[in-house]
Amino acid sequence: MAESALLELASCTVRFGGLTAVDDLTLDVAPQELVSLIGPNGAGKTTVFNAIMGVYPLASGGIRLAGRDIAGLAPHRVAKLGVGRTFQNIRLFKGITVLDNLRAAMHQDGDYDLLRAAARSRTWAATESRLEARAMELLAVFGLEARAGELAGGLPYGEQRRLEIVRALATGPRLLLLDEPAAGMNPAETQHLMGLIRSLIERYSLTILLIEHDMKLVMGVSDRVVVLNYGREIAAGTPQEIARDPAVIEAYLGEPVH
């Protein structure tokens, strides 16, 4: 498993002052696997994402992406190595268009420099039309192509959530970190999202780490589920195993089950 894992967390610990937000977490995610992180509020799930992205430093432990040590790298470097993410509270570029949100995400594909941009050179023109075509293609996959020219902040909530996923995909990631993608969605939208997430894995050979509170979604899409409480892993296994685990039930209901 360790040989072929795309993402490896080895005894990761993150501390904020005296608070240990993530405590000695070890986790391997295989290519094209979908692993869900669940746990009560404040269990440290989003902190795991931030540690992977390099937003917060590790107090101890290591993180590897496809065998390469990425602990301590700045977020933009981690992103360039193939990690995309969405945010719990949607963080779209609200004041620019949907299309520009995607083109901003595709900036790594740009192969022209500042002078060529200023002079609108031939490379500039070729690259720009390529980026636009790719962005429109991605938008079409998610049914957002009609929105391309609108400001991202003006989209309805569900579409904003979807756009954030598309934007993360536009960076061409190998690993996608989804932070509560179904938050605030109605059951029908959640159902739709579930199908979408599964299809992404196929279509883009993605590996996904998912944080979600909607248990139906988690149980429906995950290959494996890891349960965190107070920053520690209290259970891991297939969705069926997790549903039966007494420690998980205790963490969620707050009292021991006899």
**Cβ atoms 1, 28 nearer than 8 A:** yes
Q: Considering the complex, what minimum distance in angstroms separates the CB of residue 132 from another protein?
A: 11
4, 19, 69, 76: residue in contact with another protein (rule CB under 8 A): 76
Site string for another protein, 54-73 (x = CB under 8 A): -x------------------
Closest CA relative to residue 81, chosen from 90, 94, 93, 72: 72
**Cβ atoms 51, 58 nearer than 8 A:** yes
**Residue 113: φ, ψ to 5°:** -100, -175
Q: Check residue 117 for interaction with another protein (CB under 8 A).
A: yes
Q: Check residue 41 for interaction with another protein (CB under 8 A).
A: no
Q: Considering the complex, what minimum distance in angstroms separates the CB of residue 205 from another protein?
A: 19
Q: Considering the complex, what minimum distance in angstroms separates the CB of residue 55 from another protein?
A: 5
Question: Closer to another protein at the Cβ: 125 or 146?
Answer: 125
Crossing angle of the two packed helices 157-170 and 98-105, in degrees rounded to 10: 30
Site for another protein in 163-182 (CB under 8 A): 167-168, 170-171
Crossing angle of the two packed helices 157-170 and 122-141, in degrees rounded to 10: 130
Q: Check residue 129 for interaction with another protein (CB under 8 A).
A: no
